[in-house]
Amino acid sequence: MQKVYSKIESISGNVITVTAEGVRNKELAVVETRYGSSLAEVIRLNRDEVALQVFNGGRGVSTGDEVRFMGETMKVSFSDNLLGRIFDGSGKPRDGGPELTDEMIEIGGPSVNPARRIIPRNMVRTGIPMIDVFNSLVESQKLPIFSVSGEPYNELLARIALQAEVDIIILGGMGLKYDDYLFFRETLEEGGVMSRTVFFVHTAADPVVESLLVPDIALAVAENFAIHGRRVLVLLTDMTNFADAMKEIAITMEQVPSNRGYPGDLYTQLASRYEKAVDFEGSGSITILGVTTMPGDDVTHPVPDNTGYITEGQFYLRNGRIEPFGSLSRLKQQVNGETRSDHRAIMDGMIKLYAAYKESLEKKSMGFKMSDWDEKLLTYGEMFEREMMDLTVNIPLEAALDKGWEILATCFEPEETGLKTELINQYWTNKV
Amino acid sequence: MVSVEFTGEATMNEVCYVNSGGRKLKSEVIRIKGNEADLQVFEMTTGVGVGDDVEFTGELLSVQLGPGLLGQVYDGLQNPLPELAEQCGFFLDRGVYLSALDEAKKWDFTPSVKAGDKVAAGDQIGSVKEGIFDHWVMVPFQLDGVLIVKNVVAAGSYTVNDKVAEVENERGELIPLTMSFNWPVKRAVNCYAERLKPSETLVTKLRIVDTFIPVAKGGTYCIPGPFGAGKTVLQHVTSRNAEADVVIIAACGERAGEVVETIREFPELIDPRTGRSLMERTIIICNTSSMPVAAREASVYTAVSIAEYYRQMGLDVLLLADSTSRWAQAMREMSGRLEEIPGEEAFPAYLESLIAAFYERAGIVRLNNGDIGSVTIGGTVSPAGGNFEEPVTQATLKVVGAFHGLSQQRADARKYPAIHPLESWSKYEGVIDKKKTEYGRAILFRGDEVDQMMRVVGEEGTSLEDYIIYLKADLLDFVYVQQNSFDPVDDAVDPERQEYTYNILLDILTAKLDFAGKEEARTWFNRVRQNFLDYNSKEWKSEEFEKLVSTIFQLLAEKKIGVEADAEGIL
Ligand SMILES: Nc1ncnc2c1ncn2[C@@H]1O[C@H](COP(=O)(O)OP(=O)(O)O)[C@@H](O)[C@H]1O
Ligand SMILES: [Mg+2]
């Protein structure tokens, strides 16, 4: 039941309107232009006036072009045939392989009933002390890397992806630089995981609006793998590009912006994607690791700000290191009670001292005489940065905890640490 | 949002159903103009088309009240989520609405009125046992005037839909009563004799709260803070430990996972006050961030209406809403779609009055029969960019009785709970004598001043006297203001222990101490701190507990040479 219309009434940015009947909200259409065809989605209905967002963008669309309504919403093929394949932002093959049409599934489906969720409990070990010790990553967590551009966030994503024990990796790229796309492909190939990976990649060269589909497609596929018992890791980079695409549409639609031009429903839109992270009782799971670049290194910018309110923590990447302040895994307490009896104490205790170190550092920079205590903190801070924070450190959790006690014993007297006597008696290592 | 043309009458806030693709999508009328009504649809509108028909019900958006609410997990429109899961599986299918109360369950009803008795809205006509409570079966709140009981059933087993009595109103109409009735969520229940001033502390078992910035039964408080500062953990801890009869958790527009913790843990946790599972005193209203945004707006009203219902039984109810900002954002989204003139940050101009009206539904009341019941409301606020100078925080601060402001800096330094002890305030009475707490607060203030000063003049330029104040403040902060919610003992501290501990600390804070220099002072305070730290995780009055207390007093005796002049009269 396809209806074809050949008169486009208005074109504004990436939004076109046509006069049509019997059209339904969110229905998909194909716009045929001189430069090729593009998918479009119904975003507003006003009597017989239908507004559509065109995923290839409005550029080159002419009023005489044909709009063909498909009578259904956006769907993507789902089967094991996806594995090892690379697609573009709207699900078309990018690797020269065949187009897949079997088992079409809906994207952007309903959310999981909270009563059917379970408490996550499997730690994902990464070998990175700043994660394993201080902000443990947990299966089914949703967690972005907050970063300015230029930081090695994609390297960090790839490193975690290779280290994580998951069945399937899905990469959703939005505005991904071509080099970064190649980097992911090479790294995952070298790591030997490409055969259980699916790419949905929208590159910086593609029309901006097309990136809007990427999270929904990637997550719909992930959801189906998870329901079939697979543990899926979804990498979304960079969600700020996704938000910017939404902003563009909102501005075209003349929506009242709430903050720096972003639409008032930015929170809801981001949440409906991130909340797809889940551990299905008796079945698989979806873990989402994202990247949110912070324009101007400003964490109060609407995109990182709204994201922080949605996700289960964030890793701040700054100067090539995961910063202890601001970095957070909200699920860490689900797993760090069972690792080792000193885990939680080390986790908080060392950061408290690191915060004190920062204060001493500030005093030092102002030229004050350092007290004995300041001196101890300075030694501590430097050791902490070198032996814990540095991203080249790659040791298991237990070794990292031991390292923590070693650093403490090197720098302090037991009573200066603020740790409970019981733990000190058990773990304090004599000075080396 | 959809717009419909109607014939006949339409009522503001009336419930409608949009018939689309074989589904009925629940909606609410939010604007009427001529014969056109705007509806907010409580579901995703994918697939809705021009020409779909809409059913008007004539009923306002309501909650169903009656026995069986306790222990339930509802969505924002009072759909029971576990039952929904049984029917639909993992996902929340659109257009499936189930009865809020179990219609098959039989309750043992005992009447408390007889034919000929005069009653009014909110009066008890009988009761059933609901878990640990006597659940009052009441005259529906919307019935007006004096009613005469015409007949009432004998004690026995009935469902919520069985008729249990008939009353006659002043117009001579006969009204059948069952154990349940509906109440429009946006109206405050006001069948009580009078509202009283909140004066009794609602104990949360958090030291910083009960001692310095208390909450009162029937009072209101807010917890603003940037993301990750600890709002949700704070509410979670409070929902577990607070001394309220009934706790209602409104999970409004935030993470589903956080509700899951409550749903899964509470049935396993024992409430020390009753010996029963915590879930038996808890109701969860949950419209998390990926659930339909229109229902998010309704969810806080659903929650507060249920809170008022249990208050009408003479119970102390605590309503925790996380986060009120998401509710405000839902209103913003709706207002934007209605193309209303936006106020600050695009929030609707009426935001402030809606926030005020919501918190006004808290209160402690004397019921018509003389019993006292209360609704306490605590709401988190999630300010954009963590900046409190924004419309929702500001509007909330104008109306609440206590402010528990969370600080990013304290969270960064793992000083939990990260409530800022100096910036936060409360108008209510706490569990410890005000003179004593003021003294502690003053030390915190002065310690902070010295800390600031040391940043300017360095430690060297600070006098020993000032340095000791700084150390005293640091001690109070470290071992009293901070509290470890993951330690089984430290998690919940009774007022008795709070007072005991505070008095020990006060002995130290008020003491003149004799130190030769700063290094000696610091070492001594470290030692005291160490003992206190261990003390905090020891069972009340256990052998180890007593031992640590005596060590602390011993340490104090070694250095104490008198009492500070400003402390005379408070010990
Ligand atoms: N009282 C506390 N004790 C220990 N950790 C806490 C405490 N409060 C918060 N945290 C840590 O901070 C994280 C974020 O807290 P949360 O309450 O979810 O923040 P918010 O709701 O303000 O965004 C938690 O997951 C936990 O790791
Ligand atoms: Mg929260």
Domain hosting residue B351, numbered range: 199-407+420-426
Residues A38 and A172 both lie in one domain: no
* Res A430: pLDDT: 63
In sequence order, the 6+-apart residues with CB closer than 8 A to the CB of A157 are A145, A235, A237, A289, A291
The whole-angstrom separation of Cα A217 and Cα B16 is: 33
Domain end position, chosen among A305, A337, A369: A337
**Which helix (H) or strand (E) segment is A320 a member of?**
none
B459/A45 CB distance under 8 A = no
pLDDT tens digit sequence for B49-78: 999 999 999 999 999 999 999 999 999 999
Averaged pLDDT, A415-430: 91
- Is B147 contained in some domain? yes
Quote the CA–CA distance of A45 and A59 in Å, as a whole number: 23
Per-residue pLDDT reduced to its tens digit, B168-181: 999 999 999 999 99
In the reported structure, the alpha carbon of residue B233 is separated from the centroid of ligand 1 by a whole-number distance in angstroms of 5
Measured between CA atoms, how close is A111 to chain B, in angstroms?
6
Give the rounded distance of the alpha carbon of B2 from its chain centre: 33
Q: For residue B229, give the ligand 1 atom closest to its CA.
A: 22
Per-residue pLDDT tens digits for A261-284: 898 889 999 999 999 999 998 899
CATH number at residue B42: 2.40.10.170
DSSP for A75-120, please give it: EEE-SGGGTT-EEETTS-BSSS-PPP-SSEEESS-PPBPGGGB---
Residue A102: is its pLDDT beyond 70? yes
**B328 and B456 inside one domain:** no
Residue A30 belongs to some domain of the structure? yes
For the domain that residue A58 is a member of, what is the CATH number? 2.40.30.20
**Structure tokens belonging to residue B257:** 């996972």
Look at B361 and B344; give whichever has higher pLDDT: B361
Q: Closest approach of chain A CAs to the CA of B260, in angstroms?
A: 6
Share of chain B above pLDDT 90, in %: 91
Nearest CB among A73, A259, A359 relative to B345 is that of A259
The confidence score (pLDDT) of residue A256 equals 80
At A317, give phi and psi (nearest 5°): -105, 120
pLDDT confidence bin for B474, thresholds 50/70/90: very high
| B344: chain A residues, CB-CB within 8 Å | none
The reply to whether B354 touches chain A by the CB within 8 Å rule is no
Which residues on chain A are in Cβ contact (under 8 Å) with B544?
A: none
Residues in chain A closer than 8 A to B255 (CB atoms): 275, 310, 312
Q: In total, how many domains does chain B have?
A: 4
Name the token pair of A334. 């689900």
| A101 assigned to some structural domain | yes
Domain containing A370 equals 343-427
Domain C-terminal end among A292, A310, A337: A337
In what helix (H) or strand (E) does residue B425 lie, and over which residues does it extend?
strand B425-426
Kindly state whether residues B216 and B338 are assigned to the same domain.
yes
Q: Check A110 against B329: CB less than 8 A apart.
A: no
| Residues A359 and A211 grouped into a single domain | no
CATH number at residue B452: 1.10.1140.10
In the chain, the amino acid numbered B438 is: E
Same domain, B175 and B260: no
Shared-domain flag, residues A143 and A24? no
In angstroms and rounded to an integer, the radius of gyration of the C-alpha atoms of chain B is 27
DSSP classification of residue B230: S
Q: A305 and A413: one domain?
A: no
Based on C-alpha coordinates, what's the Rg of chain A?
25
A247 with A102, same domain? yes
User: What type of residue is B314?
Assistant: G
Tell whether A289 and A368 lie within a shared domain: no
Looking at beta carbons, which pairs linking A340-345 to residues 24 or more positions away fall under 8 Å?
A340/A397, A340/A398, A340/A401, A341/A423, A341/A426, A342/A401, A342/A405, A342/A423, A342/A426, A342/A427, A343/A133, A343/A397, A343/A401, A344/B486, A345/A419, A345/A420, A345/A423
Looking at the partner chain, which of B85, B384, B530 has a beta carbon nearest the beta carbon of A421? B530
B408 lines ligand 1 (CB under 6 A): no
User: Does A420 share its domain with A400?
Assistant: yes
Does B481 touch chain A if contact means CB atoms closer than 8 Å?
no
Contact call for A120 and B257, based on CB within 8 A: yes
Q: Are residues B10 and B134 in the same domain?
A: no
Give the amino acid at B355. I
Identify whether residues B264 and B394 lie together within a single domain. yes
CA-nearest residue, atom 10 of ligand 1: B230
Residues A194 and A324 in one domain: yes
Q: Domain for residue A432, yes or no?
A: no
Q: A380 with A357: CB under 8 angstroms?
A: yes
Tell me the pLDDT tens digit for each residue of B518-566.
Answer: 999 999 999 999 999 999 999 999 999 999 999 999 999 999 999 998 8
Q: Relative to the CA of A332, which ligand 1 atom is closest?
A: 27
Give domain status of residue A98, yes or no.
yes
Per DSSP, what are the bridge partners of residue B283? B248
Contact: A328, B44; criterion CB under 8 Å: no
Check if A368 contacts B (Cβ < 8 Å): yes
Confirm if B23 and B54 have CB atoms less than 8 A apart: no
Same domain, B394 and B480: no
- pLDDT-derived band at A431 (thresholds 50, 70, 90) equals very low
Verify that B220 and B282 share a domain, yes or no. yes
Write the DSSP symbol of residue B445. Answer: H
**For residues B286 and B298, what is the distance between their CA atoms, to the nearest angstrom?**
11
Q: Which residues surround ligand 2, an ion (CB under 5 A)?
A: B 231-232
Same domain, B114 and B24: no
N- to C-terminal Cα separation, chain B: 63
CB-based contact A129:A137 (threshold 8 Å) = no
